[in-house]
Structure 1
Amino acid sequence: MITITEKEFKQLSEYIKINYGIHLKIEKMALVTGRLHNVLIQAGFKNFTDYYNYVVSDKTGEAVTTLMDKITTNHTFFMREANHFYYFKDNVLPYLTSTVKDKDLRIWCAASSTGEEPYTLAMILDEYFGMNKIWWDTKVLATDISEKVLEIAKNAVYSNERIASLPAHWRAKYFNKINNENSVLIDKIRNEVIYRKFNLMEEVFPFRKTFHTIFCRNVMIYFDNETKIRLVNKLYDHMEYGGYLFIGHSESLNRETTRFKYVMPSVYQKI
């Protein structure tokens, strides 16, 4: 077993924090070692110092892609924190349809993982607008730092067990069974989500237009306070007035300092 020293862990964790915002505490040494052990073995490295030097000097970007795929946790499921989706359907969409005059609805899932969240939003949008959808641009932008999960999301193949939490009429309407174990999302919904690899720590966000709704859930739990504040300010600056921000149930914004207005736990609005 290749072990990581405290010095090596500090070097690697600082690189990850500076470039990707993820704050790995010293207690995560064993986790990091376990997730990266096979990577080092397969590449022929005998220690984490050599591996770190390889990551920072690799010009192809493949080494850091593998690193982040191993380090990040992409735990998600359909209808996770379901009250957000109900609030989006029952409150946010009626508000936006009455205020967005150009019918260009811009929604961003900032940590889309394997696609369950943006596809749920796409199904809600399809059902909400119905026949009127032809008059609206309702495509969802979905970004993630991990290429691995983005590929899974694009394929849109899920086990029947994973989609069991969805309403029965959604499963019948939006999924086609591949076999007794798996189903695939229909193209109509798949085509409503645009996937892009994106690092939330980028100094400049490349978006030409601001968003009406941003889902950035269960991401900031991995950031320290300074990184979190910096990200929230960027999200605010890239949102339309009246737009909504959804964060994870275990997350919160400091109501004394944030520019967002508190709406309900884990839901905020730009006013």
Structure 2
Amino acid sequence: MVNMKSREFPMTDANFDHIKNMAYDRTGIVLGDHKREMVYSRLARRCRALGVHDFDQYIHVLENRESDELSHFVNSITTNLTSFFRERHHFEFLEETVLPEVFKANSASKRVRIWSAGCSTGEEPYSIAITLARFLKNNLVRYKGWDVKILATDLDSNVLAKGKRGIYPNSGADGLSKSDRLEFFDESGQGNDHQLMAKDKIRNLITFNRLNLLHKWPMKGQFDVIFCRNVVIYFDKETQKVLFDRYANVLKDPGYLMIGHSENLHRVSTRFNALGHTRYKKIN
């Protein structure tokens, strides 16, 4: 075990256990002992910002109900690694198979809903929006006037704010094709200041909201597709079982679920049929 007493902000084993328990109670995230270095590094920034001298003082601030530190704590311990069209096979499957089936099934309501759960800084929902926009453009006459929306949620308010802005550095846009950049983004600046700003044609398809997946969900309608990728790896098996059961409950039939490349539903849920490449279809 690393000796934290020699660090800038002493962190005892009891401090770390307290932080682990609070993280689990508040977010469902499981912080194993191998995450101790990461936790220290991220929360040390909060200690500096608050002017506290050790983690005893930090925990005292964290437990003060009048403090807004809990929100900063959650933002600090959540990991937000994403990119445009990450795991591209999901978006190819969405465009070629899922959307034609979903639009046909919803011909009476003319309503389609997709949820990006754990959307991070927004690259995933914007990739979904681009895929949707291309599909609608290719079927303009047939689906003109349909009510099509994407819900993008995350626990971290900081990354949600970035998603809402829809502004990304050119250096982080490798997943976008040249044609997508031209059609769906405005560009400004040069060199290190070169930025891409999402155009209204995709921005208006997305609603960004803060949501703790383990708390009550305010959404009343059902979804046709849910993306929950590289999120449940932070949860234990029992929490995963509850979460995927809730996903099945809010998915239509037919309804599709996309999860991350390191995740699977084996011994977690029997309510989905595996289609390969971390793609699932609801069966009950």
Letter in 2 for 1:117: E
Matched, 1:54 2:54: no
The superposition leaves residues 15-41 of structure 1 with CA deviations (integer Å, 9 ceiling, x where unpaired) of: 111110110001211211111112112
Q: 237-246 vs 259-268, which deviates more?
A: 259-268
What is residue 89 of structure 2 aligned with on the other side? 83
Does the CA contact (< 8 Å) of 1:3 and 1:33 recur in 2? no
Q: What are the equivalent positions in structure 2 for 1:248-267 lying under 5 Å apart?
A: 248-254=260-266, 257-267=269-279
Partner SS, residue 112 of structure 2 = coil
**Any conservation in 2 of the 1:92–1:244 contact (CA below 8 Å)?**
yes
The one-letter amino acid paired with 1:14 is N
- 1:142 equivalent to 2:152? Answer yes
In structure 1, C-alpha distance between the alignment counterparts of 2:166 and 2:155, rounded to whole Å = 18
In 2, the alpha carbon distance for the partners of 1:201 and 1:29 equals 23
Conserved in 1, the CA contact under 8 Å of 2:245 and 2:269?
no
For 1:105, what is the secondary structure of its paired residue?
Answer: strand
Q: Which amino acid aligns with 1:64?
A: L
Q: Does 1:246 align with 2:254?
A: no
- The alignment's TM-score, normalised by the length of structure 2, stands at 0.91
Q: Deviations over 1:117-139 (max 9, x none)?
A: 00111111111011245321111
Answer yes or no: is the 8 Å Cα contact 1:4–1:29 preserved in 2. no
Q: Which residue of 2 aligns with 1:188?
A: 201
Partner amino acid for 1:118? P
Deviates more, 1:88-97 or 1:125-134: 125-134
Aligned CA RMSD, in angstroms, stands at 1.4
Aligned to 1:163: 173
Amino acid at match of 1:110: A
Task: Give the 3-state SS of the residue equivalent to 1:205 in structure 2.
Answer: coil
1:80-99 per-residue CA deviation (whole Å, 9 max, x = no partner) reads 00000000100100110111
Q: Which residue of 2 aligns with 1:221?
A: 233
1:123 to 126, 130, 140: 130
Could you say which residue in structure 2 is the equivalent of 1:103? Answer: 110
1:13 alignment partner AA: K
Per-residue deviation at 1:164? 3.1
Identity %: 34
Partner Cα separation in structure 1 for residue 37 and residue 133 of structure 2 = 44
Task: Determine whether 1:65 maps to 2:71.
Answer: yes
Deviation per CA, 1:186-206: give whole Å up to 9, x if none.
Answer: 12211111000000110x221
Aligned length: 269
Match of residue 14 from structure 1 = 21
Q: Could you list the runs of 5+ residues in structure 1 that have no partner in the other structure?
A: none
From 205, 211, 234, the counterpart of 1:198: 211
Aligned 8 A contact 2:225 2:256 in 1: yes
Question: Runs of 4 or more off by more than 3 Å in structure 1?
Answer: none
